[in-house]
């Protein structure tokens, strides 16, 4: 019994030739949702590992489908379609229906049993109302287990587990999990991060999040908050690197009216505002030593004292901190208090850099392409195979933030339907090992205007703090400001 209806008539299609930029004409026989038979000359080279791109002319455009060569016979090469986009699947089904019409079956197209004009085959019980708009969805639901059984031996155990967990997630209301697609992962390092988040979220203890700039530390903090018992209380964020030292104490602890020049009214600090909830101290490594002592006191006795007020106030706040610095090294160098470090690092979550996250790079790239494509009104673009390869091989010193900026840039610059490595700014090949030892030198090349401006704004245009976060020198920051004509005054 077949799972899908096959077209009896041959279909003209093409295979793009990347070397020449031309297209090779081919014939597909027995086209279905699962695959087709590719008719080629007998002397055509064949490898089971080959993935080919098939272009099927459809309503003035070309339907692009990736296919895996699974078998060769005297009649041709059997292809298995690897369709990963819902839109592509539905367009292929519509193409098949258009080429079936009008239908005059005497036997069932699935099991070859006589049907006598029935709407449902009396033998296999499959519906034959293929022009019903809901047909393809109902058919997939009915045949899903057969399809999974066929594919299951081709999938790694870790990926099967992820699929099972995703199905469970679909059955849960959204309030029971963090629905942030930007914070996803299938690599072992990210699965470990997710496991740590689940373990620590219900506990009322401090958490220290470590990771390079742009890896998603705030997303981890949000995930811990949303899975905690405090999820209905405030989540207050303060970036310790973005606020001048002279104003940081007032921002953290608040002040009373008349406490200093300009204090015309009393104001609660971030710590008070977070009462009952979570305070996220981003870039904690930039906190001045004078304020580290006050944060330590707050962590030890749970009290806060506004500037200009002698009486302390009891608050109930859970602290999550994050940094891209090596705090153990900062403690050794006298830049960070050892007692505060030990207080914060009761539970530590370390995020891997994007370069170590394997296929997550493509998952994130596709997500951001759709997200910003929808935002910019450019929804038809997709990555070329060369672009996907470049994304996988690139070093990503700026991590997810750099990926976002490059995709935004590519959406604006790309003049074709396919985004190329050049559109992404990834057409210059740099040896990863060479990049590792020359990061500061090449950071100047890799930082674009939006990333620089975003970091400057986060640091209130403090050049020293901007240089630290971007891991470049102060002169380089000034050179980039001049290059991009950014007004910092």
Helix residue ranges per DSSP H, 152-269: 157-170, 188-200, 217-226, 245-253
Q: What does the DSSP 8-state code read for residue 176?
A: G
**What pLDDT score was predicted for residue 207?**
97
Residue 327 in this model has a pLDDT that exceeds 50: yes
**What pLDDT score was predicted for residue 432?**
46
Q: Determine contact, residues 381/407, Cβ cutoff 8 Å.
A: no
CATH tag, 188-350? 3.40.50.300
pLDDT digits (tens, 9 = 90+) for 80-93: 888 877 788 888 98
Q: Determine contact, residues 269/252, Cβ cutoff 8 Å.
A: yes
The pTM assigned to this predicted structure is 0.56
Burial pattern 292-325, b for ≥16 Cβ within 10 A else e, equals: bebbbebbeeeebbbbebeeebebebbbbbbbbb
Top mean-pLDDT range of 280-284, 378-382, 433-437? 280-284
| Region for residue 79 given its phi and psi (left: phi exceeds 0; alpha: psi -120 to 50; beta: otherwise) | beta
Asked whether this chain's domains 11-144 and 360-483 adopt the same fold, the reply is no
CATH tag, 360-483? 1.10.8.60
Domain boundaries, the chain: 11-144, 188-350, 360-483
Lowest average pLDDT, out of 342-346, 394-398, 414-418, 453-457, goes to 453-457
CATH tag, 11-144? 2.40.10.220
Helix residue ranges per DSSP H, 357-438: 360-376, 385-393, 399-413, 421-424, 432-437
How far is residue 433's CA from residue 428's CA, in Å, rounded to a whole number? 15
**What pLDDT score was predicted for residue 161?**
72
pLDDT digits (tens, 9 = 90+) for 24-74: 899 999 999 889 999 876 656 655 557 888 999 988 888 889 888 888 888
How many residues comprise the chain?
Answer: 489
**What pLDDT score was predicted for residue 104?**
67
């Amino acid at each position: 019994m077949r799972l899908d209806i096959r077209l009896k008539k041959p279909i003209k299609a093409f295979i793009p030739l990347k070397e020449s930029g031309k297209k090779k004409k081919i014939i597909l026989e027995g086209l279905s949702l699962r695959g087709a038979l590719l008719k080629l000359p007998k002397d055509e080279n064949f490898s089971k590992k080959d993935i080919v791109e098939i272009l099927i002319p459809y309503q003035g455009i070309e339907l692009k489908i990736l296919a895996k060569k699974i078998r060769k016979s005297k009649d041709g090469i059997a292809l298995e379609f690897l369709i990963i986009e819902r839109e592509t699947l539905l367009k292929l089904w519509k193409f098949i229906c258009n080429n079936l019409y009008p239908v005059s079956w005497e036997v069932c197209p699935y099991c070859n049993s006589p049907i006598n004009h029935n709407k449902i085959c009396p033998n296999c019980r499959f519906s034959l109302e293929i022009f019903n708009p809901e047909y393809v969805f109902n058919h997939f639901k009915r045949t899903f287990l057969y399809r999974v059984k066929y594919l299951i031996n081709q999938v790694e155990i870790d990926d099967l587990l992820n699929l099972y967990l995703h199905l469970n997630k679909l059955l849960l209301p959204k309030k029971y999990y963090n629905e942030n697609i930007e914070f996803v992962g299938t690599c072992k390092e990210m699965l470990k991060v997710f496991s740590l988040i689940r373990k620590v979220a219900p506990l009322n203890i401090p958490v220290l999040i470590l990771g390079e700039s742009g890896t998603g530390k705030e997303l981890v903090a949000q995930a811990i908050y949303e899975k905690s018992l405090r999820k209905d209380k405030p989540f207050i964020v303060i970036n310790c690197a973005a606020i001048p030292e002279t104003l940081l104490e007032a921002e953290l602890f608040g002040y009373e009216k008349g406490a200093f020049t300009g204090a015309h009214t009393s104001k609660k600090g971030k710590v008070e505002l977070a009462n009952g909830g979570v305070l996220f101290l981003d870039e904690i490594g930039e906190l001045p030593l004078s304020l580290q002592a006050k944060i330590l006191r707050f962590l030890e006795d749970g009290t806060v004292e506004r500037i200009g007020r002698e009486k302390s106030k009891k608050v109930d706040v859970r602290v999550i901190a994050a940094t891209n610095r090596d705090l153990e090294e900062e403690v050794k160098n006298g830049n960070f208090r050892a007692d505060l470090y030990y207080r914060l690092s009761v539970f530590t979550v370390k995020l891997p850099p994007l370069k170590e996250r394997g296929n997550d790079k493509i998952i994130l790239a596709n997500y951001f392409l759709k997200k910003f494509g929808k935002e910019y009104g450019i929804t038809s673009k997709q990555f070329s195979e060369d672009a996907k390869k470049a994304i996988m091989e690139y070093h990503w010193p700026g991590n997810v933030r750099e990926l976002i900026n490059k995709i935004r840039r590519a959406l604006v610059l790309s003049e074709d339907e396919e985004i190329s490595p050049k559109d992404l700014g990834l057409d210059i090949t740099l040896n990863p090992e060479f990049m590792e030892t020359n990061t500061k030198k090449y950071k100047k090349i890799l930082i674009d205007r939006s990333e620089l401006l975003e970091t400057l704004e986060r640091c209130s245009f403090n050049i020293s703090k901007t240089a630290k976060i971007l891991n470049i020198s102060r002169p380089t920051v000034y050179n980039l400001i001049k290059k991009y004509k950014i007004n910092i005054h």
